[in-house]
Structure 1
Amino acid sequence: MSGFDFDLFVIGAGSGGVRAGRVAAEAGARVGVAEEYRYGGTCVIRGCVPKKLMVYASAFSDAFEDAAGFGWDVGPARFDWARFIAAKNVEIARLEQVYHAALTRAGAQPFAARATILDPHRVRLSTGAEYSAKHILIATGGRPVVPDIPGAELGVTSNEMFGLAAQPARMMIVGGGYVACEFAGIMNGLGTRVRQVYRGAQILRGFDDDLRDHVADAMRARGVALDVERDVARIDREGDGLRVTLDDGETETVDLVMFATGREPNTAGLGLGELGVHLGRGGAIEVDAWSQTAVPSIFAVGDVTARAQLTPVAIREGQAFADTIFGDKPTRPDHSLIPTAVFTQPEIGTVGLTETEARSRGPVAIYRTVFRPMLNVLAGREERVLMKLVIDAMSRKVLGCHVSGHAAGEMIQLAAVAIRMGATKEDFDATMAVHPTAAEELVTMRAAVA
């Protein structure tokens, strides 16, 4: 038995912290976990889980509209914001208990408190209690960034969107990343009049250009007023609404302004700089391939490291840390070929290199198809599906797969397995198609378009 109170003390009970703490405790380690807010972190409480529930809710407007083309008589539909929020809250509370119970069942000791680090082996809780630990793991995640403009305090971020007392009739979303685009689709689908402004030339920076253009066009066709190369200069209260002034002087009055202008790591006030833990851009904790900081006893996983800000990545990093330190299974998380789903409307599924990235490395062949899926034909919906494969011209390996359309996220999970195993275009071609599906197009594209 060591002279420490704990073998591991975890700060932050989100996806990465809970996984690391649970696995370490199951391996026999004495584990303490401090969380100042709610167990489950961003993903469960104010991120991907409630967002996906909102995506499902908003998609019913399509279903009601499309049903007539399939022979259904559907009466007038009305969305009840308060009823949905109440149902969502019940589910989130259930999941929070699941996360908390997983830790306690494994033998970890949870603390409902904020923790700061006093030295490489000691933490202090906001309750005043202090504990020593052989290892400290920081898993405090990230938080939304709000731009420094007059009236910014009148807006909200994604955090507040999940608890609004009432649905806004008119709203402006500021930003062009996946959070901004997802909420634009959600709120538009629920009946809010949405305008989205983004200072860049095109939304979804970092994604394949064909995907970006395809989704932007589809969002506009669905009714989102999407303006690029525009930005918000100030916000003022005007009666019951908000008067938004754009950078060219245009003004518009809305009920709600949501900022989705980036996220930054939650490292402020932890005491890291004084300890010698190196912080990078935006306060991100710098770690090596084993998630270890410059202080050997202190580790970090998840969004707080800004390596890849995705829930499955945080979970994988937490698992790898626990396996390495407490499971006698040295494991480094692999951050290559991370599949990603973006729940825009239409949805995105993507894995691997974009066409631009691939071309910078050498010759490529591009296979692309755009088609109207069977689901949309009888419904009279013109929205298309986009599928694209980026192929290494020499080895014929599939370097990237990009899909936009219904169930794109489900498709990309399975495509990622094949691509990770090194599948070639000929392997895709040799795979029997599942008919009739949209996904069969991934294995039936025969002629390169570029």
Structure 2
Amino acid sequence: MSLLASEVLVVGAGPAGTLAALRAGDLGARTTLVTAGPFGGMAANDGPVPVRTLAHAARLMREARQLAQYGVEVGAPRLDYSRLLARVDEVVGRVGERAALLDQIRAAGVALHADAGAVRFLDPHTLENADGQRFEAGKIILCTGGVSRRLPVPGIDLTSTHSDAWSLTAAPQSLIVVGSGATGAQVASVFNAFGSHVELFEAGERILRTEEPEVSACVAAAFRNAGIAIHEAFGMIEAFEAAPSGVRMIYVKDGQRRRAEAAVVVVAVGWAADTAALNLPAAGVETNDRGFIRVDAAQRTTAPHIYAAGDVVGVRMLAPQALQSGFVAATNAVTGASERAEHLVNPIGSFTDPEYAQVGLGEDAARAAHDALVVTAGFDAVTRAIIDGRETGLCKLVVDRADHRLLGCHLVGERAVEVAQIAAVAIAAGMRIDDLARLPISYPTYAGVLGRAAAMAARALNPDLAPPPFAADLR
């Protein structure tokens, strides 16, 4: 048994933990970073990085099928899944080496213990892993992230998580995806592009229910046109069982028992805090009714010397927000301050086909607090979308009639996630829609849809306003 003592111990090396350790080290604290798996956590090794790599392959498959439309004659694209997985591994490795702050962590003097296995509290200041190695610190920051939520139904062990889906040895002939949030929609979209027959099951009334209804409807229509079978309000799952083709899902709707079968079933019904191994009661750390670690505005847990950040606290479970909360947690742990992780602007997007994204207020929330104007521009009138043959999509803007500020932006269509970042900057800057409409956006680009929608809103607020000179896509 060995004991490693430090001033600050960070548990977990995803975005929150990495930045927490870097910040603590930069502030001069003797810092240790311990992680159960490889450096980079879920984001680099099992989340956005590998997922986006597969989504890029799906995009290439789609674009290859467009070649004949532009006079380029080649054979039909064929996916070599093993080579794709090798590329995923290569990308994950390069990101870990170059983009995941590893060099900065080392330069800050942080002692890194990767692949250490799970650790558990022995007392409020000491944690131990399965090998008997102990880590002790005056201040502790928990950044252990999350895990896929499992349904409490018989046969759930026959199903897969999104992680299992990414590590398949071949694209399955058929695939059932249960849950149509960001993860489920991405799994469905990617494997549909790879040639799998995909069925997407959603318990709610519509897929992507956290998005605006127009966005949800547009994505659903595009999915159906691409051959994905969507089952909304499908009922309740009774059980999963083995079937000759793979897995059978038994569910009940309107009192009738129904069945669906596929080679692989992926369940993507939410995210839970990864705290099962930590033995939190030994440290006096409490969780909330959703099972996430309870923290105050300063990221402090119910144990005054222990902080938590990232997905493990269950607030805006996205990498940029995890980075910010990790930075704040470390600042407060080392300095004793009570800084807050402000999340005023939170762009969210997913790399499905088509992409969708949002930032700021939705229409209902905006109307509850503002006299709101809502305008919608279609991608089918955007020059770049016409050029590329990618006319499916829309841009919905929510604007305050009183001061003309942009309150929200909701997109679906090609490069929607990138376009949303411009809207995020405009919202953060308190930009008036009139000024956004006059922003000279390069032509022809997908960002033109934002300029077009902004010009529509500006003219609706002031009908006497001359057409904005720079809104090249306002025809």
Structure 1 position 328, deviation (Å): 8.6
Q: Say whether residues 1:351 and 2:359 are aligned partners.
A: yes
Residues 8-47 of structure 1: pairs in structure 2 closer than 5 A: 8-47=8-47
C-alpha RMSD over aligned residues: 2.2
- Partners of 1:174 and 1:49 in 2: how far apart? 22
Tell me if 1:321 matches 2:326.
Answer: no
Residue number in structure 2 paired with 1:146:
150
DSSP 3-state at the match of 2:369: coil
SS at match of 2:445: coil
Amino acid at match of 2:402: M
Check the 8 A contact 1:69/1:379 in 2, yes or no.
no
Q: CA, structure 1 residues 101+436, in 2 after alignment: closer, same or farther (shift >3 Å)?
A: closer
Give the secondary-structure state (helix, strand or coil) at the position aligned to 1:261.
coil
Cα offset for 1:357?
1.1
C-alpha deviations, 1:358-400, integer Å up to 9, x for none? 112232101111132445546766x422001101121221110
Question: Does the Cα contact within 8 Å between 1:320 and 1:333 map onto a contact in 2?
Answer: yes
> In the alignment, what sits opposite 1:247?
252
Q: How does 1:393-404 map to 2 (within 5 A)?
A: 393-404=401-412
**Aligned to 1:294, which of 277, 290, 302?**
302
Structure 1 stretch displaced more, 391-400 or 98-107: 98-107
| 1:407 maps to 2:407 | no
1:207 correspondence with 2:211: yes
Partner SS, residue 171 of structure 1: strand
User: Judging changes above 3 Å, is the alpha-carbon distance between structure 1 residues 31 and 444 closer, same or farther for their aligned structure 2 residues?
Assistant: same
Q: Are 1:192 and 2:196 an aligned pair?
A: yes
* Structure 1 stretch displaced more, 62-71 or 246-255: 246-255
- Distance of 2:365 and 2:183 partners within structure 1: 23
Tell me, yes or no, if the aligned pair for 1:69 and 1:378 is still in contact at 8 Å.
no
TM-score scaled by length of structure 2: 0.88
Q: Equivalents in 1 of 2:9, 2:128: separation in Å?
A: 11
Q: Counterparts of 2:118 and 2:104 in 1: how far apart (Å)?
A: 20
Aligned to 1:259: 267
Maintained 8 Å contact 1:303/1:314: yes
Q: 2:429 aligns with which of 399, 421, 441?
A: 421
2:137 — aligned with what? 133
Tell me which amino acid in the other structure corresponds to 1:67: L
Q: Which amino acid aligns with 2:419?
A: M
- Matched residue of 1:281: which SS? coil
2:222 is aligned, of 218, 223, 243, to 218
Q: Is the 8 A contact 1:244 1:252 kept in 2?
A: yes
Task: Give, as a single letter, the amino acid of the residue that structure 1 aligns with 2:351.
Answer: F
Q: Which amino acid aligns with 1:418?
A: A
> CA 1:406/1:327 → structure 2, altered by over 3 Å: closer, same or farther?
farther
- Aligned twin of 1:431: 439
Cα displacement (A) at 1:331? 3.7
* Seq. identity, %: 30
Offset at residue 166 of structure 1 (A): 2.0
Q: Give the secondary structure class of the aligned counterpart of 1:288.
A: coil
1:108 equivalent in alignment to 2:110: yes
C-alpha distance after superposition, 1:295-340 (max 9, x if no partner): 1100000000001100111111112223344479864221122111
Alpha-carbon offset, residue 14 of structure 1: 1.2
Aligned residues: 446
Aligned match of 2:126: 122
Structure 1, residues 117-144: CA drift from partner, whole Å, max 9, x if none?
2333222232213332110000000000
What is the CA deviation profile of residues 101-126 of structure 1, one whole-angstrom value per residue up to 9, with x for unaligned ones? Answer: 54334322222232222333222232
Residue in structure 2 matching 1:308, options 302, 306, 316: 316
Q: 1:331 to 1:142 in 2, by over 3 A?
A: same
Q: Is the 8 A contact 1:144 1:263 kept in 2?
A: yes
Residue 366 of structure 1 is matched in structure 2 by: 374
Change (3 A) 1:200 1:316: same
Measured in 2, the distance between the counterparts of 1:308 and 1:137 equals: 18
Question: What residue in structure 2 maps to residue 390 of structure 1?
Answer: 398
Q: Any idea what the Cα deviations from partners look like across 1:66-114, whole Å, max 9, x if unmatched?
A: 1222221121210011110122123223434555554334322222232
User: How many Å separate the matches in 1 of 2:387 and 2:420?
Assistant: 26
Amino acid paired to 2:60: F
Q: Counterpart of 1:412 in structure 2: which amino acid? A: A
CA distance in 1, matches of 2:336, 2:316: 26
CA distance in 1, matches of 2:389, 2:296: 53
- Say if 1:329 and 1:39 are closer, same or farther in 2 by CA, change over 3 A: same
Question: Which one is further off, 353-362 or 113-122?
Answer: 113-122
1:171 matches 2:175: yes
CA distance in 1, matches of 2:142, 2:333: 15
Equivalent residue, structure 1, for 2:239: 234
SS of the residue corresponding to residue 188 of structure 1 reads: helix
Residues 24 and 327, structure 1, Cα contact 8 Å, conserved in 2: no
CA distance 1:205–1:380, shift in 2 (3 Å): closer
What letter corresponds to residue 61 of structure 1 in structure 2? M
Secondary structure in 2 aligned to 1:253? strand
Farther off after superposition, 93-102 or 343-352: 93-102
Change (3 A) 1:371 1:97: closer
Closer, same or farther in 2 for the Cα pair 1:349/1:379, shift >3 Å? Answer: closer
Q: Is the 8 Å Cα contact of residues 118 and 277 (structure 2) preserved in structure 1?
A: no
Tell me the distance in 1 between the aligned counterparts of 2:432 and 2:273: 38
CA distance in 1, matches of 2:135, 2:176: 46
Gaps of 5+ in 1: none
- The structural deviation recorded for 1:240 is 4.5
Q: TM-score, normalised by structure 1?
A: 0.93
1:157 corresponds in structure 2 to: 161
Give per-residue Cα distances to partners, 1:230-281, cap 9 Å, x unaligned.
Answer: 1433222122422222323232321000000111011223122343322113
Q: Residue 70 of structure 1 contacts residue 378 of structure 1 at CA under 8 Å; is this kept in 2?
A: no
